[in-house]
A and B are shown apart, each in its own frame.
Chain A
């Protein structure tokens, strides 16, 4: 049933991607955006993701989000959550982006993460199980930076220290610095690396039962289990330590051990940038043994668990953005996902064809036709006779 959930009430785009101007109000909990490829469906979700996180989910330069020939782009969004009503705004110019909350400029884009929480599910996520570990780290980081401000701080610091340390190792390798100068970075490296690992390990502990439960509901068989594997874990070790002190000791020891090799290679060889999230089905590695169908079920379960974990951290359900993924699933999985996710959150779905969406979904929500940067409610589109093609 409808519990506490973040709700987007209105969205306004100016010169954003292929939208010249768009004003959309979004009453209700389910919205379906239908249209062909290249019409602007993903751009719409991108705009929401941008004001939620301060960045696009797409690779590429920010400037590309500005409509061709326009001096700047603007996204404005009104929402209501436990924080009350607020308006978020991002202005993109060729020289950078600026964010505003309720009309006030915010110094750091990261502050946007305090407001609209969102879970995004895109076709790329379907590679979560078989893909490289960086996709699984991104999966964890995506939820933690939104839910835990202290994690966001630790991760940003860690990444900065890692870059500094890598540059220093590189310089030392070229004979431009002493190995002793590494030490001033090492203490901070150990500290922030340990915090990142600690938070991720705790999050996975909470995530695993949620994912197992969701998997049970979608698949009906096989037990899904998630385990965080810090880089320092031995093959023979099953569980990652969850005590910050123990993690700190392990990181410190590994750093000491890796020092000679790091100096030779000229880059950092230890740290949470090498961690992984292990997924098992009935105790067997999903990455190695899961079938195509099983992988998809695991991804679904992970996405539902993400939604639940964020809701438990934040006290309310985030907005759910589904970009063309429902059509990738068979009707059974579609139905299971819809049943679990919908009704708790405000959900925005894009799809190329209405017929590939679960039966009943269209009756529950509002449908819109997206064409060449214009969005029209389906009833109007039908009336205007502009459907087809």
Chain B
């Protein structure tokens, strides 16, 4: 069966989304055209509004609807601490801990020559600008512990250390609440390697 034109276009647009293959796109498209008109309008409006209203915070480069974003303008937060992450979702994850009270900087990616991403493609100039004022005393590098995240952390630490700011890297090891018995082997091996003397 050949799909009617408008339906085929919808399928095509949907299948451009990450993680959506042709089959899922078809299922979604058929689902959408069977919804009441107002549901579909709400979805379409949500898409357009999100695209129109979400932009990059001029301070931390996170995604936001107000500029500067709420985290940057919150007077309660500690200006001396700056946590550098790869993406907006990392900020959300760290915020869920409700422990960290410093500021964030979002690089919007990690160095990866295979993907054509060099330091120039990341929000590093903005980070350097933020360090100009001298208010930040410690930069916490919280990029992923994979090769790309490590390379990015390495790049930043070389760039930032000469500026006289303290640069730290997030630790890795045993997840809290886990038990040794059920830990996966790689995490265990890494945790063993990073062991510390009890003081």
| A residues in contact (CB < 8 Å) with B | 95, 111, 114, 149-150, 152-153, 157, 160-161, 163-165, 167-168, 171, 177, 181, 183-185, 187-188
Smallest CB-CB A-B distances: 9 pairs: A149-B185, A167-B113, A150-B189, A168-B113, A184-B154, A184-B155, A184-B151, A153-B186, A160-B147
B147 contacts which chain A residues (CB < 8 A)? Answer: 157, 160-161, 164, 188
Contact A187 B114 (CB under 8 A): no
In the complex, A184→B184 CA distance in Å?
A: 29
Q: Closest A-chain residue to B148, C-beta based? A: A164
In the complex, A183→B155 CA distance in Å?
A: 8
Contact B154 A188 (CB under 8 A): yes
Contact A152 B111 (CB under 8 A): no
Does B21 touch A at the CB level, under 8 Å? yes
Can you give 13 A-B contacts (C-beta < 8 A)? A149-B185, A149-B189, A153-B189, A157-B147, A160-B147, A163-B114, A164-B114, A164-B151, A177-B113, A181-B155, A184-B111, A184-B152, A188-B150
B194 contacts which chain A residues (CB < 8 A)? Answer: none
Contact B154 A187 (CB under 8 A): yes
| B residues in contact (CB < 8 Å) with A | 21, 111-114, 118-119, 146-148, 150-152, 154-155, 158, 184-186, 189-190
Q: For the complex formed, measure the closest distance between the CB of B90 and the CB atoms of chain A, giving whole angstroms.
A: 18
In the complex, A171→B111 CA distance in Å?
A: 14
Contact B114 A181 (CB under 8 A): no
Q: Closest A-chain residue to B154, C-beta based? A: A184
A157 contacts which chain B residues (CB < 8 A)? Answer: 146-147
Q: Which of B146, B158, B185, B189 contacts A184 (CB 8 A)?
A: B158
Q: Closest A-chain residue to B152, C-beta based? A: A184
A150 contacts which chain B residues (CB < 8 A)? Answer: 185-186, 189-190
A111 contacts which chain B residues (CB < 8 A)? Answer: 184
In the complex, A160→B88 CA distance in Å?
A: 25
B21 contacts which chain A residues (CB < 8 A)? Answer: 95
In the complex, A150→B189 CA distance in Å?
A: 6
In the complex, A114→B112 CA distance in Å?
A: 30
Q: Closest B-chain residue to A158, C-beta based? A: B147
Q: For the complex formed, measure the closest distance between the CB of A177 and the CB atoms of chain B, giving whole angstroms.
A: 6
Q: Closest A-chain residue to B119, C-beta based? A: A181
A163 contacts which chain B residues (CB < 8 A)? Answer: 114
B152 contacts which chain A residues (CB < 8 A)? Answer: 184
Most buried by A among B113, B152, B185: B113
In the complex, A188→B169 CA distance in Å?
A: 15
Q: Which of A152, A161, A168, A184 contacts B186 (CB 8 A)?
A: A152
Q: A149-B189, A185-B151, A188-B151 are in contact. Are A164 and B113 (CB under 8 A)?
A: yes
Task: Give 19 new A-B contacts, CB below 8 A, not counting A150-B189, A188-B147.
Answer: A95-B21, A149-B189, A150-B190, A152-B186, A153-B189, A153-B190, A157-B147, A160-B146, A161-B147, A164-B113, A168-B113, A177-B113, A181-B119, A181-B155, A183-B158, A184-B155, A184-B158, A187-B154, A188-B150
Q: Which of B112, B118, B186 contacts A177 (CB 8 A)?
A: B118
In the complex, A165→B111 CA distance in Å?
A: 11
Q: Closest A-chain residue to B188, C-beta based? A: A149
A177 contacts which chain B residues (CB < 8 A)? Answer: 113, 118
A149 contacts which chain B residues (CB < 8 A)? Answer: 184-186, 189
A164 contacts which chain B residues (CB < 8 A)? Answer: 112-114, 147-148, 151
B146 contacts which chain A residues (CB < 8 A)? Answer: 157, 160
Most buried by A among B114, B147, B152: B147
Most buried by B among A161, A164, A171, A177: A164
Q: Closest B-chain residue to A152, C-beta based? A: B186
Q: For the complex formed, measure the closest distance between the CB of A309 and the CB atoms of chain B, giving whole angstroms.
A: 18
In the complex, A184→B113 CA distance in Å?
A: 12
Q: For the complex formed, measure the closest distance between the CB of B35 and the CB atoms of chain A, giving whole angstroms.
A: 27
B184 contacts which chain A residues (CB < 8 A)? Answer: 111, 149
In the complex, A114→B158 CA distance in Å?
A: 38
B158 contacts which chain A residues (CB < 8 A)? Answer: 183-184
In the complex, A158→B184 CA distance in Å?
A: 20
B118 contacts which chain A residues (CB < 8 A)? Answer: 177, 181
